[in-house]
Amino acid sequence: MTGTTAASTATLYTYKLTVKNTDNADKPLSNGAKYSLYRCNGTACNTPVGTETSVSYDTLSKTATAVFNGLDSGAYELRETGIPAGYSGTDPVQFTVTPTFNNGTVTLKSSNDSVVVNPDASLTITVKNTSGGGLLPSTGGVGVIILYVCGLLLVAGALAGIIVAARRRNRE
């Protein structure tokens, strides 16, 4: 048998995610910042999309960004895997990409308001790290009082033992 198959074409739409990394004053941060993107299936977000991506600083646009290409429709989670020195990390960002097709035009929607959909059907997330490295754990509490009392009783017992021993020596 011989023959030919009719040519068919299919268009595959993929999208780009740009992560902008800044501090609270919108100053670009790139030193040590890294991100990983995961695909979500139900409630679990365990399938990596690409590899861990370092944030790079662009001197022309004066921005610090990480770029993920090849996203399609579905649910994702962006995780900060490297935090700039002197700053605290952020919580993961979950979002869903939903494309709408209309006569060859693609319109994207995102389920998360922090994910900006650009006119060119790309996505942008701005991650703001706060300086100071976060809050220190609190100390003290009710349990400390018990330790103080026990410590004072031990010191008082030691002093009493020294005094008793000194009096015995003086009697001899």
Tens digits of residue pLDDT in 64-74:
999 999 888 88
Residue 27, Ramachandran bin (φ over 0: left; ψ between -120 and 50: alpha; else beta): beta
The answer as to whether 117 is a domain residue is yes
CATH number at residue 61: 2.60.40.10
Q: Which of 99, 83, 106, 108 is nearest to 30 (CA)?
A: 83
Domain co-membership, 83 together with 159? no
Domain co-membership, 54 together with 116? yes
The answer as to whether 154 is a domain residue is yes
Query: Domain count of the chain?
Result: 2
Residues 6 or more apart whose CB falls under 8 angstroms from that of 26 comprise 128
Residues 6 or more apart whose CB falls under 8 angstroms from that of 37 comprise 17, 48, 49, 50, 53, 68, 71, 76, 77, 78, 79
Domain co-membership, 77 together with 144? no
pLDDT of the chain along its 172 residues, tens only?
Answer: 565 655 666 566 788 899 999 988 888 988 888 999 999 998 899 999 888 899 998 888 889 999 999 888 888 999 999 988 888 888 999 888 888 877 766 666 777 878 888 888 788 999 888 886 555 556 666 667 788 888 999 999 999 999 998 888 888 7
Q: Which of 79, 93, 90, 84 is nearest to 51 (CA)?
A: 79
pLDDT in the model for residue 6:
57
Domain co-membership, 166 together with 124? no
Which residue reads 């501090």 in tokens?
23
> Based on the number of CB atoms within 10 Å of its own CB, is 165 exposed (0-12), middle (13-18) or buried (19 or more)?
exposed
Domain co-membership, 106 together with 144? no
pLDDT in the model for residue 79:
93
Domain co-membership, 123 together with 85? yes
124 in Cβ contact with 113 (< 8 Å): no
Residues shown for the chain: 172
Which residue reads 């990596």 in tokens?
48
pLDDT in the model for residue 137:
59
Domain co-membership, 150 together with 85? no
pLDDT in the model for residue 155:
94
The answer as to whether 3 is a domain residue is no
